[in-house]
Amino acid sequence: MPTSPTSPAPTDLAALRTELNAINALLLDLFGKRRAHVALIQAAKVRDGRAQLDPVRERALFQELAPLLVTLAERDVLSFSLLMESHAGEAYPRWSEGAHLSELPQKCFQRVNPLLVKQLWPEKFATLRFHADYAFLQDS
């Protein structure tokens, strides 16, 4: 099978794939560690009678991570938001399902944590139509 002039040589491709496999394994290991750590935080919140969603804390987190987050494609940001949502537990809002919106999400950014959308894409945040239960996010 012919290769394009810009394709890596087969041995280079094998090395690249091996390295990618190692990166994937590292990511999956980190996902597990993150999930366990979030479980400890959520247990402490329950013990202390704190809410599962702390908009002030999340806004601060997203501001801190902004230099890294702005380099990502919108779908990568969605992946990060889904990771946070998945690890946070059942009491955490299901942004990806549009729990915060008055209508079902149609676009990728509508499924992202709205505080993250506000940090990265203020113009897109302005287009979000919040469900009454989440109207407080407009002022966050």
- The percent of residues in the chain predicted with pLDDT above 90, rounded, is 86
Token couple for 46: 């329950």
Domain shared by 29 and 59, yes or no: no
Domain shared by 35 and 88, yes or no: no
Out of 17, 32, 50, pick the residue that ends a domain. Answer: 50
User: Containing domain of residue 14, as a range?
Assistant: 9-50
Separation of alpha carbons 46 and 113, rounded Å: 22
Domain shared by 63 and 127, yes or no: yes
pLDDT at 33 over 90: yes
Domain shared by 37 and 102, yes or no: no
Counting the structural domains of the chain, the total is 2
**What confidence tier does 82 reach under pLDDT thresholds 50, 70, 90?**
very high
| Tens digits of residue pLDDT in 68-79 | 999 999 999 999
Separation of alpha carbons 137 and 35, rounded Å: 25
Domain shared by 55 and 38, yes or no: no
Q: What is the CA radius of gyration of the chain?
A: 19
